[in-house]
Amino acid sequence: MTAELVLQILLTVAVALVGVGLFGALSQQSIVMVMMGLELVLNGVLLAGGAAWYFLTPELPDAQVLVVVALVVMAVEMAMGFAVTVAIYRARQVDMVDMATDLRG
């Protein structure tokens, strides 16, 4: 496979991840499903950025390091988000986005 074909495949997968994640985040009412959709969008953006960076400067490992650091930060962020979701559910028995409108400040 040529480098252009690999880049095209990676960018196509990234666009698919962003599209599915955006649809999931906008169409679901469950807080957990909305968070999963947003995570897919971020993974698609990371994949596109990492692939483009790798193919623009293949001699530098900066892209791989950035993607690993971003994935670790996203994993911590999702763990904190799930902890907040569990705390809201335990306190108010709320698991849908529409039912949590009283949390606005």
Asked whether residue 105 is domain-assigned, the answer is no
| Residue 30, helix vs strand vs coil | strand
Asked whether residue 69 is domain-assigned, the answer is yes
pTM: 0.79
| Residue 104, helix vs strand vs coil | coil
**Residue 91 maps to which CATH number?**
1.10.287.3510
Asked whether residue 82 is domain-assigned, the answer is yes
Average pLDDT, the chain: 86
Domain span at residue 64 reads 3-96
Q: What is the pLDDT of residues 48-97, one digit of tens each?
A: 988 888 888 888 887 778 888 888 988 898 888 888 888 888 887 876 77
As for how many domains the chain has, the answer is 1
Asked whether residue 104 is domain-assigned, the answer is no
Residue type, 54: Y
- What ranges make up the beta strands (E) of the chain? none
Given a cut of 90, whether residue 16 has pLDDT beyond it is yes
Distance CA 75, CA 21 (A): 16
